[in-house]
Amino acid sequence: MLPSRARQVEWLEDVIDKGAEDEESLTKFCRRIVDSFHEMLTKDVRAGTPPLHEGAVFKSPFTTKVHLVAWMNGEHAWIVSSDCRFGDFAPLDSLYWQYTEHSRADPELLRKNEEWKVGDVVSRSQRYYHGKVIAVGNKCVLLECMNTGNIQPDSNENLKRYYVKVRGK
Protein backbone atom coordinates (compact mmCIF):
# COMPACT_ATOMS: atom_id res chain seq x y z
CA MET A 1 0.00 0.00 0.00
CA LEU A 2 2.67 2.53 1.00
CA PRO A 3 5.21 2.91 -1.81
CA SER A 4 8.56 1.39 -0.94
CA ARG A 5 11.36 3.63 0.26
CA ALA A 6 13.14 3.10 -3.08
CA ARG A 7 9.99 4.19 -4.96
CA GLN A 8 9.72 7.30 -2.78
CA VAL A 9 13.36 8.17 -3.52
CA GLU A 10 12.77 7.69 -7.27
CA TRP A 11 9.73 9.93 -7.08
CA LEU A 12 11.64 12.69 -5.24
CA GLU A 13 14.57 12.47 -7.67
CA ASP A 14 12.13 12.80 -10.57
CA VAL A 15 10.33 15.83 -9.13
CA ILE A 16 13.53 17.64 -8.17
CA ASP A 17 15.18 16.75 -11.48
CA LYS A 18 12.35 18.44 -13.35
CA GLY A 19 12.96 21.48 -11.15
CA ALA A 20 10.97 24.65 -11.02
CA GLU A 21 9.32 25.70 -14.23
CA ASP A 22 10.11 29.10 -15.81
CA GLU A 23 9.40 31.89 -13.34
CA GLU A 24 7.70 29.45 -10.94
CA SER A 25 7.92 30.71 -7.37
CA LEU A 26 9.46 28.57 -4.67
CA THR A 27 6.01 28.29 -3.04
CA LYS A 28 4.43 26.93 -6.22
CA PHE A 29 7.33 24.52 -6.73
CA CYS A 30 6.97 23.23 -3.15
CA ARG A 31 3.18 22.96 -3.55
CA ARG A 32 3.72 20.86 -6.68
CA ILE A 33 6.09 18.56 -4.76
CA VAL A 34 3.64 18.11 -1.87
CA ASP A 35 0.66 17.57 -4.19
CA SER A 36 2.52 14.95 -6.21
CA PHE A 37 3.67 13.27 -2.98
CA HIS A 38 0.04 12.96 -1.82
CA GLU A 39 -0.86 11.60 -5.25
CA MET A 40 1.91 8.99 -4.96
CA LEU A 41 0.69 7.94 -1.49
CA THR A 42 -2.94 7.64 -2.46
CA LYS A 43 -2.75 6.21 -5.97
CA ASP A 44 -2.80 2.60 -4.74
CA VAL A 45 -5.59 3.16 -2.20
CA ARG A 46 -8.49 1.42 -3.90
CA ALA A 47 -11.26 2.90 -1.80
CA GLY A 48 -11.60 4.38 1.65
CA THR A 49 -12.67 2.19 4.51
CA PRO A 50 -16.34 1.32 4.16
CA PRO A 51 -18.74 2.94 6.64
CA LEU A 52 -17.02 2.80 9.99
CA HIS A 53 -18.28 0.48 12.66
CA GLU A 54 -16.87 -1.24 15.70
CA GLY A 55 -14.94 -4.25 14.50
CA ALA A 56 -13.87 -2.66 11.19
CA VAL A 57 -10.34 -3.70 10.26
CA PHE A 58 -8.27 -1.51 7.95
CA LYS A 59 -4.84 -0.69 6.58
CA SER A 60 -3.33 2.74 6.10
CA PRO A 61 -0.44 4.04 3.97
CA PHE A 62 0.96 5.70 7.09
CA THR A 63 1.89 2.46 8.81
CA THR A 64 2.49 -1.17 7.87
CA LYS A 65 0.14 -2.47 10.58
CA VAL A 66 -3.46 -3.60 10.42
CA HIS A 67 -5.74 -1.59 12.71
CA LEU A 68 -9.09 -2.28 14.36
CA VAL A 69 -11.85 0.16 15.26
CA ALA A 70 -12.31 -1.22 18.76
CA TRP A 71 -14.81 1.37 20.03
CA MET A 72 -16.86 4.32 18.77
CA ASN A 73 -18.97 6.96 20.50
CA GLY A 74 -20.49 8.89 17.59
CA GLU A 75 -17.66 11.43 17.42
CA HIS A 76 -14.46 9.43 17.83
CA ALA A 77 -13.13 5.97 17.17
CA TRP A 78 -10.59 4.21 19.38
CA ILE A 79 -8.16 2.40 17.11
CA VAL A 80 -5.76 -0.38 18.11
CA SER A 81 -3.13 -2.48 16.37
CA SER A 82 -1.81 -5.82 17.53
CA ASP A 83 1.07 -4.38 19.54
CA CYS A 84 -0.07 -0.92 20.66
CA ARG A 85 -0.14 -0.17 24.36
CA PHE A 86 -2.67 2.68 24.40
CA GLY A 87 -4.36 2.89 21.00
CA ASP A 88 -5.29 6.11 19.21
CA PHE A 89 -8.39 8.24 18.96
CA ALA A 90 -9.51 9.54 15.56
CA PRO A 91 -12.46 11.81 14.81
CA LEU A 92 -15.05 10.05 12.69
CA ASP A 93 -15.21 13.04 10.33
CA SER A 94 -11.42 13.12 9.79
CA LEU A 95 -9.91 13.07 6.31
CA TYR A 96 -7.69 10.28 7.66
CA TRP A 97 -10.35 7.72 6.72
CA GLN A 98 -10.08 8.47 3.00
CA TYR A 99 -6.50 7.15 3.12
CA THR A 100 -7.46 3.81 4.63
CA GLU A 101 -8.75 0.65 3.06
CA HIS A 102 -10.54 -2.41 4.35
CA SER A 103 -8.48 -5.41 5.45
CA ARG A 104 -9.69 -8.99 5.58
CA ALA A 105 -7.74 -9.68 8.76
CA ASP A 106 -9.74 -11.28 11.57
CA PRO A 107 -10.74 -8.55 14.06
CA GLU A 108 -10.54 -11.02 16.92
CA LEU A 109 -6.77 -11.28 16.40
CA LEU A 110 -6.57 -7.62 17.47
CA ARG A 111 -8.55 -8.04 20.69
CA LYS A 112 -6.96 -11.14 22.16
CA ASN A 113 -6.37 -9.74 25.62
CA GLU A 114 -5.62 -12.60 27.98
CA GLU A 115 -5.84 -10.42 31.09
CA TRP A 116 -8.89 -8.19 30.58
CA LYS A 117 -12.34 -8.39 29.05
CA VAL A 118 -15.15 -5.94 28.40
CA GLY A 119 -17.16 -5.48 31.59
CA ASP A 120 -14.27 -5.87 34.04
CA VAL A 121 -14.30 -3.19 36.75
CA VAL A 122 -11.09 -1.79 38.22
CA SER A 123 -10.16 0.68 40.92
CA ARG A 124 -7.08 2.71 41.79
CA SER A 125 -6.05 5.48 44.16
CA GLN A 126 -7.36 3.65 47.22
CA ARG A 127 -10.66 2.93 45.47
CA TYR A 128 -11.24 6.62 44.70
CA TYR A 129 -11.37 5.87 40.97
CA HIS A 130 -13.59 3.13 39.55
CA GLY A 131 -13.45 2.32 35.87
CA LYS A 132 -15.18 -0.17 33.63
CA VAL A 133 -13.45 -1.81 30.68
CA ILE A 134 -15.52 -0.89 27.60
CA ALA A 135 -13.15 -2.13 24.87
CA VAL A 136 -9.92 -4.13 24.62
CA GLY A 137 -6.91 -4.42 22.38
CA ASN A 138 -4.21 -7.07 22.68
CA LYS A 139 -2.08 -5.02 25.06
CA CYS A 140 -4.44 -2.28 26.18
CA VAL A 141 -7.95 -1.44 27.35
CA LEU A 142 -10.33 1.48 27.13
CA LEU A 143 -11.74 2.48 30.50
CA GLU A 144 -14.84 4.51 31.30
CA CYS A 145 -14.83 6.25 34.68
CA MET A 146 -17.93 5.07 36.51
CA ASN A 147 -18.33 8.45 38.27
CA THR A 148 -17.70 10.95 35.47
CA GLY A 149 -18.07 8.95 32.25
CA ASN A 150 -14.61 10.08 31.09
CA ILE A 151 -12.90 7.71 28.69
CA GLN A 152 -9.21 6.82 28.89
CA PRO A 153 -6.98 4.17 27.36
CA ASP A 154 -4.41 2.35 29.44
CA SER A 155 -1.88 -0.42 28.95
CA ASN A 156 -2.02 -3.90 30.42
CA GLU A 157 1.24 -3.10 32.23
CA ASN A 158 -0.28 -0.06 33.94
CA LEU A 159 -3.43 -1.98 34.83
CA LYS A 160 -1.37 -4.71 36.46
CA ARG A 161 0.75 -2.19 38.33
CA TYR A 162 -1.71 0.52 39.41
CA TYR A 163 -5.20 -0.99 39.36
CA VAL A 164 -7.07 -3.64 41.29
CA LYS A 165 -9.81 -5.77 39.75
CA VAL A 166 -13.06 -5.20 41.63
CA ARG A 167 -15.11 -8.30 42.24
CA GLY A 168 -18.87 -8.27 42.10
CA LYS A 169 -19.39 -4.89 40.40
Q: Which of 55-59, 61-65, 88-92 has the lowest mean pLDDT?
A: 61-65
Q: Are residues 66 and 26 in the same domain?
A: no
User: What is the DSSP-derived secondary structure letter of residue 95?
Assistant: G
Confidence of residue 69 (pLDDT cuts 50, 70, 90): very high
The total domain count for the chain is: 3
Asked if residue 115 is part of any domain, the answer here is no
Q: Are residues 100 and 129 in the same domain?
A: no
φ and ψ of 16, to 5 deg: -70, -35
Owning domain of residue 95: 57-110
Cα–Cα distance for residue pair 156/136, rounded to 1 Å: 10
pLDDT score recorded for residue 47: 61
User: What is the DSSP-derived secondary structure letter of residue 127?
Assistant: T
Strands 140-145 and 101-102: unpaired
pLDDT score recorded for residue 34: 83
Q: Where are the alpha helices (DSSP H) in the chain?
A: 5-18, 26-42, 156-162
Q: pTM for the full model?
A: 0.74
Asked if residue 51 is part of any domain, the answer here is no
pLDDT score recorded for residue 159: 95
Q: Percentage helix, strand, coil, to 5, in the chain? A: 30, 30, 40
Percent of the chain with pLDDT over 70: 91
Asked if residue 140 is part of any domain, the answer here is yes
Higher-confidence residue: 41 or 86? 86
Q: Are residues 106 and 62 in the same domain?
A: yes
Q: Where are the alpha helices (DSSP H) in 1-155?
A: 5-18, 26-42
pLDDT per position as a tens digit, 75-117: 999 999 999 999 999 999 888 887 788 888 998 999 999 999 9
pLDDT per position as a tens digit, 10-38: 877 777 777 766 677 778 878 888 888 87
